[in-house]
């Protein structure tokens, strides 16, 4: 796994310009909610919804929120697909075939549809947790466990052209196979982001600190994690380990 991490770092640094370019949709995905009436707050470099404020929204505000939500997920899906294709081309030493480019729309909307379903599941978890007063205890654990299969699913859809639910099955198997490595790299990242949040909040005005964390997360942290987990996915092919 050290070799995989080494590949991930080398690939990220070698392709950093194109990876940053394809990370812009991810940044926009985080920024769009800031310009909508969505009752959100920023924490750990991410965007979260204030469940208790939803009841106060008007029908028009809810419609705008839904459009902003869909636009954000679509842009995020574009970033995921683009970065996966970059890593596939880099690691396999091949050019992206024309048919892959032609199927780009299929990949984007496949990931988009998967993201919608998981986001709705997470939203339901948050609703139940809000009613049961579990927002800070049970909800984060359930959300983490539910979204864990998304780690490798996009790679399965893009690299192996799997259908979404088959890609999820493949993702779950890979997670169990590499569980200690998945946790070994995810947990320190969250600890690092939490420490940076504390430092930024102490050094900068709150709003500037929060937006700085979003920039850091969407342009650097998340893209590197995508690169790393795509590299982990590719290790199932013995010839390119």
pLDDT at 1 over 70: no
Closest CA to 79 of 230, 226, 229: 226
**Strand bridging mode 40-43 / 46-49:** antiparallel
- Report d(CA 76, CA 60) in Å as an integer: 24
pLDDT at 94 over 70: no
The pLDDT value given to residue 194: 75
Q: Are 143 and 122 in contact (CB under 8 A)?
A: yes
Tell me what the pLDDT averaged over the chain comes to.
78
Q: Are 89 and 95 in contact (CB under 8 A)?
A: yes
- Residues 108-121 pLDDT 10s: 999 999 999 988 89
- Report d(CA 40, CA 51) in Å as an integer: 9
Angle at 225 (CA atoms; ends 205, 23), nearest 5 degrees: 65
pLDDT at 221 over 90: no
End-to-end CA distance of the chain: 9
pLDDT at 214 over 50: yes
pLDDT > 70: percent of the chain:
80
Q: What average pLDDT does range 210-225 have in this prediction? A: 82
The pLDDT value given to residue 40: 62
Q: Are 29 and 200 in contact (CB under 8 A)?
A: no
pLDDT at 241 over 50: no
Closest CA to 193 of 174, 167, 226, 220: 220
More confident residue, 69 or 2: 69
List the single range of 32-36, 84-88, 156-160, 228-232 with lowest mean pLDDT: 32-36
Angle between helix 179-203 and helix 164-177 axes, rounded to 10 deg: 90
Per-position DSSP letters for 66-114, written without gaps between them: HHHHHHHHHHHHHHHHHHHHHHHHHHHT-PPPHHHHHTHHHHHHHHHHH
Q: What average pLDDT does range 74-90 have in this prediction? A: 84
The pLDDT value given to residue 44: 54
Number of H helices, E strands in the chain: 11, 2
The three-state secondary structure class of 41 is strand
pLDDT at 240 over 50: no
């Amino acid at each position: 796994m050290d070799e995989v991490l080494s590949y991930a770092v080398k690939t990220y640094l070698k392709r950093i310009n194109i990876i940053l370019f394809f990370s812009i949709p991810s940044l926009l995905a985080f920024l769009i909610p800031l310009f909508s009436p969505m009752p959100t707050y920023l924490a750990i470099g991410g965007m979260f919804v204030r469940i208790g404020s939803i009841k106060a929204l008007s029908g028009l505000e809810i419609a705008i929120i839904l459009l902003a939500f869909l636009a954000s997920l679509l842009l995020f899906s574009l970033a995921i697909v683009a970065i996966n294709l970059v890593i596939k081309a880099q690691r396999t030493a091949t050019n992206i075939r024309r048919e892959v480019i032609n199927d780009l729309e299929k990949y984007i909307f496949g990931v988009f549809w998967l993201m919608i379903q998981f986001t709705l599941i997470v939203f339901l978890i948050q609703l139940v947790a809000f009613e049961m007063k579990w927002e800070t205890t049970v909800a984060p654990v359930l959300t983490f466990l539910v979204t864990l299969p998304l780690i490798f699913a996009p790679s399965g859809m893009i690299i192996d052209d799997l259908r979404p639910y088959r890609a999820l099955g493949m993702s779950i198997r890979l997670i169990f196979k590499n569980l200690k490595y998945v946790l070994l790299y995810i947990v320190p990242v969250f600890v690092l982001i939490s420490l940076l949040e504390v430092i930024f909040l102490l050094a900068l005005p709150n709003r500037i600190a929060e937006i700085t964390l979003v920039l850091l997360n969407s342009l650097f942290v998340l893209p590197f994690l995508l690169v790393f987990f795509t590299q982990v996915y590719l290790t199932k092919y013995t010839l390119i380990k």
